[in-house]
Amino acid sequence: MSQPSVNNAVHSVTLDERKKATLSGANEVLSYSEEELVVATTSGNLTIKGKNIKIVKFGAQENTLCFTGEIDSLKYATAKAPLIKRIFK
């Protein structure tokens, strides 16, 4: 039986009172500190900033991530246009 491709996996974010969050579609934790967490998701890289961030559970098989802390922001990385296009706008 074939498994669904990563690109077709569902990605969602559930945030409870800016203190606890659960992500689905989380492929990999790229970096982690108490102030910043960067996660590769099926919808692109997601940067979470805050204080006292702690990973509670990362399920690599299920592509889920649960973390706690004082969450200040969630931001998806956007691809920049090639340099030549930015110069000759």
CATH code for the domain of 54: 2.60.40.2000
Question: pLDDT over 70 for what percent of the chain?
Answer: 81
pLDDT higher than 50, residue 4: no
DSSP sequence for 25-53 = SEEEEEEE-SSEEEEEETTEEEEEEEEEE
Q: What is the extent of the structural domain holding 78?
A: 6-87
Question: pLDDT over 90 for what percent of the chain?
Answer: 69
> What's the structural domain count of the chain?
1
- Residues 37-77: pLDDT tens digits? 999 998 889 999 999 999 999 998 999 999 999 999 999 98
Asked, for residue 11, whether it belongs to a domain, the answer is: yes
Asked, for residue 28, whether it belongs to a domain, the answer is: yes
Q: How high does pLDDT run on average in the chain?
A: 86
